[in-house]
Structure 1
Amino acid sequence: MFLSLTLGSTLALVALAGCSFEKEEQIWEIAGPVFGTRYHINVVLTEDEARLENLGEGIEEVLDGVDASMSTWRDDSELSRLNSRDDQSEWTDISAPLYEVLVSAADVSSLTDGAFDITIGPVVNLWGFGPEARPDKVPDDNELAARLDATGYEKLELRAEPPAIRASKPQYIDLSAIAKGYGVDAVARYLVSAGVTSYLVEIGGEVRVNGRKPDGSAWRLAIEEPVSEQRQINRVVALDQHAMATSGDYRNYYESEGRRYSHTIDPDTGRPIVHTLASVTVIAENAMLADALATGFNVMGYERAQALATRENIAAYFIVRRDGGFETHHTPAFTSYLTQ
């Protein structure tokens, strides 16, 4: 049985037909819009309308807080205010959540030799994949060089106590490749604090689970076939803890003068990725890390990413374009999650 909670200015409870009147644990769904996409949260609980309403309101509050801190689409967000500062050379105090995300981003940037870079936003915007309008023409070398010169995760410096940031050169920080994952983790922490031990939290494809379904089975998650025309399953994984995120170039792209341009930008070149890796899925302890690693691996391409993930014992699943079709590969750490 599922219960749909529609979150917004009002909260509505809709119970589907065929529900049992016994107080047994069942799966309830809480869903709504956020971050320009949607969230879907399944919780395993006995029927309790008041508790479910409270959970829905609490989840909305948590996600509103993440959006108010980390959105680049909101002029009044904490991150937008930071990005708008002309002089970033002095320490600027930041919230603990924003500091947590920035530290994790820095760690993944170092691990991937800069393939993951939260300062690449100006270049992403230049290609038309951010708040700026889609360009009339493909950026030329001079435009790219100017934007690239203004980027570089190494220019950021973080301080733990009190949380603060400064930059040797003004930076535009874009957390779109890690903030959704953080939002998933924030909701998961809230659910645990509210006494929910079995749940599935999904925001825009980033997922974190814990516990099992009422019948004792693990949560089953699908890895999509990387095709834009339709949605079909490539493989299914089973999880009772941890998080999973996928990054690919098959959904968000545009075509200009017969060429296809992916939304994933290589920080080394300032250009959309052009290699044969169609998608990569990562399983990690938390969604923030899985989200960032999947993006970094997608930038790196199959050979480099596979070598790094294997060396670091990271669970990763790769779908690679070969001869008009796809072939799949995974690291040893991913094997135990695959279903038959």
Structure 2
Amino acid sequence: MPAYVLAFLCLLILNGCSETEPEAIKLQGQTMGTTWSAVILLPKNSETAFPDNTALQAGLDNVLKTVNDQMSTWQQDSELSTFNRYEQTDWFPVSGQLAKVTQAALAVSRFSEGQYDVTVGPLVNLWGFGAAKKATPLTVPEQSAIDEILLNVGYTKLAVRLDPPALKKQMRGVYVDLSSIAKGYGVDQLAAYLNQLGVTDYMLEIGGEIHVKGQSPRGDNWRIAVEKPVDLGSSIQQGLNLKAGGLATSGDYRNFFSAGGKRYSHTLNPATGYPIKHSLASVSVMAENTMLADAYATMLMAMGEVKGKAFAVEKGLDAYFIRRTDDGFETFATDGFKQALIQ
């Protein structure tokens, strides 16, 4: 879900504010190869001494710097990049935060029976979608190159422990990419920082992954828009009414290339090494935190419209599916997600 969602949200906020409502502080910056933004409400006449805008900006930036220092695959001196270069199979000490997120990622891998897999990073790089960007135009890799990388792919080839925190490769060539969960975790860390300051009403976003709490400046729930998954331009598919928790979207309409009359998405099948092939254009997921919403959205997108919908219904996930048809887009919302739809 791109920054257009935030623009829509800000429009609603500006149209609904009055002098009697709390002051809405709007901050933004860059992180994780994308942008972040925040709408923070500080109550009027509060006895709590909140930081000024400059201090808030610095505090939020520092939270995100810590996450990048731990989990970035673009930053060569991050903990994760250092682990990926490590060619031994003994335990590699890491921060507790990196171990925690890796544990959560492996839990989602087991939950999905391997449909979600954070060891596909080398395949993502091979196809030109990852940190090791290929020159444009992107092309389909040779089968031999895919087969070679697949030998090191598989979530069971990665181990994690929390005390003392460490990661371990079962094979030297294992490479971990947490981009499908780290942005969500980063949003949750921003929320934790504001919670510690005593802030009770906010909307936080990194690259479209969102966490909300409390009330909007209008005095009601936060209104968020799910974007229509079109390749060019921006328009709204569905409005949402959110009170608390995380929201994340995974789609194939921003990061893809076409070759030989075929469309190749950045979401890969860890079993075949090839991009997914189905008519699902995007999946949005609501969860108690944005880290899980982020991972679940990628997981369901990898499963496709048939298996993904059945899985979401069976497991009680709050999900919203948009698939392409010859007549346009078709949508499906699970029962839990329907409660957030703005009719």
Offset, 1:243? 0.6
Within the alignment, does 1:331 sit opposite 2:334 as a pair?
yes
Displacement of 1:51 after TM fit? Answer: 2.3
The whole-number CA distance in structure 2 between the counterparts of 1:134 and 1:30 is 33
Return the offset for 1:214: 3.3
What TM-score comes out, normalization by structure 1 length? 0.90
**Mapped contact 2:286–2:293 kept (Cα < 8 A):** yes
- Displacement, 1:262? 0.8
**Aligned AA (1:57):** A
Q: Distance in 1 between matches of 2:128 and 2:95?
A: 29
Find the counterpart in structure 2 of residue 42 from structure 1.
39
Deviation at 1:132, TM superposition (A): 2.1
Greater RCO, CA 8 A, separation 6+: 2
1:71 partner amino acid: S
Among 193, 206, 210, which residue is 2:209 paired with? 206
Structure 1: segments with no counterpart, 5+ residues: 1-15
Q: What are the equivalent positions in structure 2 for 1:101-250 lying under 5 Å apart?
A: 101-134=101-134, 137-170=139-172, 171-250=174-253
Q: Which residue of 2 aligns with 1:297?
A: 300
Do the aligned residues in 1 keep the contact of 2:96 with 2:162 (CA within 8 Å)? no
Encode CA deviations 1:114-133: one digit per residue, 9 max, x unaligned: 11110000011100111223
Map Cα deviations across residues 35-83 of structure 1 (whole Å, 9 max, x no partner): 1110010101157995222211110100000011111111101000000
Look up the SS of the partner of 2:68 in the other structure. Answer: helix
Matched, 1:260 2:275: no
Amino acid at match of 1:259: K
1:8 aligned residue:
none
Structure 1 counterpart of 2:26? 29
Between 264-273 and 181-190, the greater mean CA deviation after superposition:
264-273
Q: What is the distance in 1 between the residues matched to 2:244 and 2:50?
A: 26
Is 1:72 aligned to 2:69, yes or no? no
Is 1:313–2:310 an aligned residue pair?
Answer: no
| Amino acid in structure 1 at the alignment position of 2:57 | G
Q: Distance in 1 between matches of 2:162 and 2:142?
A: 40
Say which SS state the counterpart of residue 298 (structure 2) adopts: helix
Aligned-residue CA RMSD (Å):
1.8
Could you tell me whether the CA contact under 8 Å between 1:123 and 1:147 is conserved in 2?
yes
**Which moved further from structure 2: 57-66 or 162-171?**
162-171
Q: Gapped runs of 5+ residues in structure 2?
A: 1-13
What does the per-residue CA deviation read over 1:294-323, in whole Å, with 9 as the maximum and x for residues that have no partner? 001001001111111111111000001112
Q: In 1, Cα distance between the equivalents of 2:42 and 2:280?
A: 40
Deviant stretches of 4+, over 3 Å: 46-50
Partner residue of 1:287?
290
Partner of 2:274: 271
Out of 138-147 and 177-186, give the one that drifted further.
138-147
Q: Residues 23 and 46 of structure 1 are in contact (CA less than 8 Å); yes or no, is this contact kept in structure 2?
A: no
**Aligned twin of 1:5:** none
In structure 2, the partner of 1:56 is 57
* 1:92 has 2:95 as partner: no
8 Å CA contact 1:282, 1:294 repeated in 2: yes
TM-score, reference length from structure 2: 0.90
Which amino acid letter does the alignment assign opposite residue 22 of structure 2? Answer: E
Counterpart Cα distance in 1 of 2:316 and 2:65: 34
Q: Which residue of 2 aligns with 1:83?
A: 84
Deviation at 1:198, TM superposition (A): 0.4
- Aligned sequence identity (%): 45
Secondary structure (helix, strand or coil) at the match of 1:68 reads helix
* Number of aligned residue pairs: 321
How far apart, in 1, do the equivalents of 2:235 and 2:218 lie?
26
